[in-house]
Structures are given as C-alpha cells and as structure tokens.
Amino acid sequence: MTPKEVLEFAQQKEARQLDLRFTDLPGLSQHVSYPISQLDEASFEEGFGIDGSSIRGWAAINESDMLLIPDPNTAFIDPFGEARTLVMTSDVIDPITRQHYERDPRWIARKAENYLRNSGIADTAYFGAEAEFFIFDNIRFDQNHNAGFYFIDAEEGRWNSSRAQNNLGYRPRYKEGYFPVPPTDHYQDLRAEMVETMIRCGLNIECHHHEVATGGQCEIDQRFDTLVKSADNMMLYKYVIRNTANQYGKTVTFMPKPLFGDNGSGMHTHQSLWKAGKPLFAGDGYAGLSQLALWYIGGLIKHGPALSALIAPTTNSYKRLVPGFEAPVNLAYSRRNRSAACRIPMYSASPKAKRVEFRPPDPSCNPYLAFAAMMMAGLDGVENKIDPGQPLDKDIYDLGPEELAKVPSMPGSLEDALDALERDHGFLLKGDVFTEELVRTYIEYKRTKEVDAIRLRPHPYEFALYYDI
C-alpha cells in the first residue's frame, strides 16, 4: 500500500490507535502506540521519535534519539486489541543524518537483499522457516542469591498420566508426539485458530501439526517469501501464536530446549536463489542440484560455526544441538540424513521446488540477522566456489570413529559459537551488510548478558550431583 492507501485502510477499518513495531538486537519485538490522529501522509517521511538508548543492544545515552519510519506495505489491523489498532513495522532512522540505523536488524536484512542484487549472482533469495514451539499451561521460574528453579506444567505432558483427579489420559508419549489425531493431539483447535488469525493478518500458511515432543510441541509452516518479508512474517507469526494462546489461558515458548529428555524446537530454514524469475538451485548434480547450489551449501558448511552464534544464539540452543540425539550438528549435506546440517528435500522434482534446508537454526534467533547471515554465507560459497565435500548419506550411527572424526560439527556451546564468529565474520562484512561495530556489539552483548550470566550461577542439578560430595 501507499501511505495514502494506508490512511484510507485505517479509516475504512475504523482504527483508533496506531501501533509501530520494530525489533531489538536479540530479536524481541518492541512497540509504541499513538492515537490514529497522529498519522498522516507526512508521517511516512518525518517518522516518530523514540529513545534508542533504552533498547537492548542499541545506542548509548548520548546518541539516543531515533526515528521510526512506518513501512506502509506492512499494515494490518491487530486482531487482539480492544481498541481497533492499525499496526505497521518500522525502519529505524538516525534523526540527524537521516540514514538508516546500523543496529536496526531489519536494515541489515534489507542490505543483504541489496547486496544480492548488486552481486549479479541472483536478484531474489527466498526463505521458508519452520518454527516449532511449546504450548504450556503453567510456567514458574526464579533466580536469586540463594535459590534458582523452573517448573513447567502442561495438561498434555506425559508426566501427568499418573494424576489422580481430572485425568482422561490421551497424552503423547515422550518422543512420539508426531502427528497423532485428537484427543491425543490436544491443540488441533487452538492451532487452527492461530492459523486463521495469521491468514487474516496477511500470512500465507501451508500446514500445521503436532510435533515430536510431549507437553504441547507444535509446528505451523509458512509459505516461503523474500528475505526481509520472511523475517517480518516470522515476527508476526510469533506475535499471533503467543497472543492466541494467551487468550486461551495458555503460554507459548520458543525456547529451543525447555524439556529435559524430549525433543527440542528447531527452525529448519529452506532457502534458494532466483534470477529473473528462474530458480538457480535446480540442476543435474547431486539430488538434482546445480553447481551454484552446491557452492552455496559449501558456504553454509564452511561458515557454520560462525553462523551458529546468530542462528542458534542462546545458551539453551546448545541443549538442543547435542551429538547423538538426531540433532543437526553435522556440518555436511544429504538428501535424506536429517542429522546433516544441510538437507535437500526430495518431495518434488520441479525445478522451482529445489532448495536447501538448513537445519541448525532455532526459533530463539533474530530472523533478520539469521536470514541475512545465512544468505551471506551461501553467497560467499558461490563467489569463492567452495566445495561442500561428499554428501553424508550414511546413517551417522553407522560411521566408525575415524569416519565420524572427518565430519565437522556445530559448536557445543554459545561461548564456542561466539569465538567462531569473532574469528570468522569477514563474509558478513561484504557490502557493509553487517558492520564490524555491529558484530563486536553483538558478541559483547551475548558474552556479558548471557554466557557470563549463566556461568556465574549455580545450576539446580549441581546440587543433585555435588551437595554431599
């Protein structure tokens, strides 16, 4: 829509509030609201002022003034507000220079798209992310000087099978929650409402289902779209899921590994390059791939350890990415081995369907940074003709120690991932897509706010292991 069309849309829908949204560095959606009378056509150039120093990972106090410029193409009516509210995603602008703010994740994703077009290799990168999540009924957690705990409960959790009261059974067994029909799948109706709400907000949804874990693990799949649009869609996806669940008295988490002893939540990310409307990943190579696609995979594999700091960006991510548990920790590619980081889906022979599925990402990531970084890694593979090596088609459990030692793997912790990013981030700096200052800020934030914060605190299980030592 044009700015004029947005104003007409707001009037037609009788909007009374304006809600502007943007994303902080770790990937949490932020917002500020105004009476709808504050919006006019000039607003799309002049913007709305905010204090950037109060946003995680953003400006210092002496350079705090920022402008939010609404993107008219992102307008929709919030399905959850009591007051009719027009929502738009915003770009962040420096009010003095009128330049895009370099720590705005959406701007980094837009620069990645610009770099792709200028490279001459392709003009469009498509991303389709499959984000998994858990639906719980109750969550308690705390951490202070003399105590630290968490307690999760879910009506669907297999651990409730022995409950004496109000117990009708029908709960997925651990690691057996994939595709049961109701009543074992408790959340068919809830997911259906999430999907219908997403469609009303403009998202294109392909399917939804229960996932492998007990306790309410689910997946809703969006149709692929361009890089920035897919990242915008992921932020809206999370918003709709959380708020729909909240209306039902449920709570949703996108933490990668909230439950011990059952599957974690990933965000397998399908990606492909196109030029002039034609797919570039289809060819006569392995699994029907082109040489360009194999080089792209080579870039993902080579830069996998560095990428992990952006695509699996929490300490909890590495509770999921553990070798030996079907997790995609092996930096290799395969058309059938799901423990390989890069899988080539074989559902369709159509050239348009040819893509690579990168499996290590999880839904705790900032999608703007993650999608941009993955594409930059893949492009580096194409530009430098990086050989991805031989495919990993054997069962990983059948490999001997010598063979397994030859397969590189993802880092084992966020600390290791940040070290890898510190060593290897030149591919992100091409075209000033990421800046050196942004990478340093991100690494420092993650080390001080997350890695060190976890390292300093006793873990509850340490008491079980060591209290009587």
Which residues are catalytic, by number?
Answer: 51, 130, 132, 211, 219, 268, 338, 357, 359
Tokens of 349: 């022979």
How does strand 340-343 pair with strand 356-358?
antiparallel
Residues with Cβ within 8 Å of 441's Cβ and at least 6 positions away in sequence, in order, are: 25, 57, 103
Residue 324 burial (C-beta neighbours within 10 Å; 0-12, 13-18, 19+): exposed
Beta strands of 61-118 (E only): which ranges? 65-70, 76-77, 85-93
Residue 226 burial (C-beta neighbours within 10 Å; 0-12, 13-18, 19+): middle
∠ CA 327-392-311 to the nearest 5 degrees?
40
Omega cis (within 30) before 183: yes
From residue 194, alpha-carbon distances to 14, 39, 85, 330 in Å are 24, 29, 19, 34
User: Cβ atoms within 10 A of the Cβ of 455, count?
Assistant: 10
Q: 190 with 245: CB under 8 angstroms?
A: yes
Tokens of 197: 């709400």
Query: For 180, which DSSP code?
Result: P
Tokens of 354: 């040819």
- Measured distance CA(18)–CA(239) in Å, rounded: 17
Residues with Cβ within 8 Å of 70's Cβ and at least 6 positions away in sequence, in order, are: 6, 20, 39, 43, 44, 47, 48, 88, 89, 90
DSSP symbols for 133-175:
EEEESEEEEEE-SS-EEEEEE-TT-GGGGG-SSS-----PPTT
- Measured distance CA(242)–CA(320) in Å, rounded: 22
Instruction: Check the CA dihedral 279-281-286-287 and report its sign.
Output: negative
Helices (H) and strands (E) in the chain, counts: 15, 18
Residues with Cβ within 8 Å of 218's Cβ and at least 6 positions away in sequence, in order, are: 132, 133, 134, 135, 187, 191, 208, 209, 210, 211
∠ CA 250-254-255 to the nearest 5 degrees?
115
